[in-house]
Copies of this chain bind each other. A is one copy, B any other.
C-alpha cells in the first residue's frame, strides 16, 4: 500500500492541493494517516475514493451529495442519477431558450445598427404620415394626438429604440409562448414588462385611443417598409392572446 503526499495525490488525480485540504476539512476525503508533523498521507484506498469523487464532480454533483452517495449505503444512486439527468436536461432546455433569445437580439441589433442614425419614423413618407395625422386628429381630437406626440418626443432616440426593441422582443417571446396559456409564469413576466413599457410610452396615462394611434403608426411604418424591417406587429391571434394575458395580469395584481 503506497503512501501519497498531498502534492503527489493531487498530481495523480489532477486536482490542486487546496482541493485536498478542502475535502479533508469537509470530511469528504480524509488522509489515511497524519505524520508527526501533521502531514497528510493517503493510501490507495483514498486514491480510489478520490477518483469516485471526481467522477461525480464531473457530473456536476455538489460535494455534499457526493458524500452521501459514497457514504450512505441506503442511498438510492439510481434515482439520484435519474433526477440529476432531468435537472441537466432542464438546464439544457434553458440554454436553448437563451441561445434563441441571443440570436433574436443579434438580428434585432443588426437591424438596429442600420437604423441607428435614423429617426424611428424616418422611413415613413412625410405625406402619408401627415395624412394619417390629420385623420387621427379629426378622429380623436387635437389634444390627445398632441399629448401622445409630446410623450414620444420626450424620449431620446436611443430610449425610443430600446423600448421599441423590447416591445418587439416581448411580442416575439409571447408569440412563442402562446401554447403555454395566458397564466403561464413566463408569459406573465413578459406581460409585466410590456405593461411597464406601454406605461412609459404613454407617459403614464394609458388609453385605448393612444394605443390605437401608436398601433396605426406602427402599421403604417411596417406597410411602408415591409421589405426592410422585421419588426413584429401582432396579428389577430397574437393580439387576442396579449389582451387575455394582460387581463389576467391586471386581475392577479388586484
Number of copies: 2
Q: A74-B117, A74-B118, A92-B96 are in contact. Are A193 and B51 (CB under 8 A)?
A: yes
Among B101, B117, B192, point to the contact of A59 (Cβ < 8 A). B101
Q: How large is the interface on A (under 10, 10 to 19, 20 to 34, 35 or more residues)?
A: 35 or more
Whether the pair A44, B200 counts as a contact (CB closer than 8 A) is: yes
Interface: A215 (CB within 8 A): no
Q: Are B2 and A98 in contact (CB under 8 A)?
A: no
Which residues from chain B contact A226 at a C-beta distance below 8 Å? none
- Min CB distance, A225 to chain B, in Å? 19
B-binding segment of A81-89, A216-224, A227-235, A236-244: A81-89
Question: Closest CB of chain B to A55's CB: distance in Å?
Answer: 8
Give CA–CA (A149, B118) in the complex, Å: 73
CA distance A28 to B77 in the complex (A): 43
Majority DSSP secondary structure for residues of A touching B: helix
Flag if B166 contacts A76 (CB, 8 Å).
Answer: no
Q: Which of B12, B58, B126 has a CB less than 8 Å from the CB of A101?
A: B58
Chain A residues in contact with chain B, CB under 8 A?
2, 12-14, 44, 47-48, 51-52, 55, 58-60, 73-78, 81-82, 84-85, 88-89, 91-92, 95-96, 98-99, 101-103, 105-106, 109-110, 116-118, 120, 126, 149, 153, 159, 162-163, 166, 189, 192-193, 196, 200, 204
